[in-house]
């Protein structure tokens, strides 16, 4: 069922609009941390997924292409942000198939929160700086993003699906059957093994990197 289309006040700067999105998601994670009722937890996760889906979509469709075009030496930063989005979407896909009474539900929400918090911190520190230095019309960009968000919020979210790259293969996950679940589990184990053997020079996708 389509969500209601709510108009929001025009903001003067794209960084302000994105920051407000970040604050909203942080508050939802905070509410989840305090929640004890399973139904409340499930509802909060639905809200988190909705907010993250819409936020990531407008960033990937509008904000990141603008940064690539207008800002200098921004390609690595955008690539990193998109990879962080991919990890977030992977957990969103898993959580969208789960209920709060499952053993890993709370743990996956915690990991999702950590990934999103890291992404927000790096985005507000580095991506916002690139946006301000780019010379782009930040007010016009905010208007475009806000209009896109309103359209997305008026429609149901498409089925959650994320993918995990293992070498040349891509393993997809979207509520698979038992046979596919075995492949999915094997792929994740393989990914963990590769991560350990390669070392961890980056934290949550960041070289050093919501």
For residues 152-179, average pLDDT = 55
The CA-based dihedral angle spanning residues 136, 87, 158, 104, taken in that order and rounded to the nearest 10 degrees? -140
The pLDDT assigned to 133 comes to: 87
Task: Name the one residue in this structure whose structure tokens are 């990934």.
Answer: 115
For residues 189-196, average pLDDT = 43
112: Cα separation from own chain's centroid: 9
Confidence of residue 161 (pLDDT cuts 50, 70, 90): low
DSSP class of residue 2?
P
pTM above 0.85, yes or no: no
Average of per-residue pLDDT values in the chain = 79
The angle that helices 14-34 and 38-58 make with each other, rounded to 10 degrees, is: 160
**Domains of the chain: residue spans and CATH:** 14-153 (1.20.120.520), 162-198 (no CATH)
% of the chain at pLDDT higher than 90? 61
Q: Which of 104, 105, 93 is nearest to 175 (CA)?
A: 93
Task: Return the HEC string of 114-137.
Answer: HHHHHHHHHHHHHHHHHHHHCCCC
The pLDDT assigned to 157 comes to: 79
For residues 8-30, average pLDDT = 88
Q: Looking at the predicted structure, is the pLDDT value of residue 174 above 60?
A: no
Measured distance CA(73)–CA(138) in Å, rounded: 19
113 and 197 Cβ atoms separated by less than 8 Å: no
**More confident: 57 or 187:** 57
């Amino acid at each position: 069922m389509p969500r209601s289309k709510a108009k929001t006040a025009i903001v003067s700067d794209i960084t302000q609009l994105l920051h407000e999105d970040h604050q909203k998601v942080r508050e939802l994670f905070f509410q989840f941390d305090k929640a004890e009722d399973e139904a409340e937890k499930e509802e909060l996760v639905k809200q988190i997924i909705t907010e993250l889906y819409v936020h990531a979509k407008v960033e990937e469709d509008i904000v990141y292409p603008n940064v690539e075009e207008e800002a200098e030496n921004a390609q690595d930063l955008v690539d990193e942000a998109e990879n962080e989005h991919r990890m977030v979407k992977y957990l969103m896909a898993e959580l969208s198939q789960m209920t709060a009474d499952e053993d890993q539900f709370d743990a996956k929400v915690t990991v999702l929160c950590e990934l999103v918090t890291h992404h927000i911190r790096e985005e507000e520190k580095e991506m916002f700086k690139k946006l301000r230095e780019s010379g782009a019309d930040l007010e016009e960009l905010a208007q475009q993003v806000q209009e896109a968000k309103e359209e997305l919020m008026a429609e149901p979210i498409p089925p959650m699906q994320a993918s995990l790259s293992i070498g040349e293969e891509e393993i997809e996950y979207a509520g698979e059957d038992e046979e596919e679940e075995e492949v999915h589990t094997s792929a994740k184990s393989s990914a963990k093994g590769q991560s350990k053997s390669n070392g961890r020079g980056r934290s949550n996708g960041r070289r050093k990197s919501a």
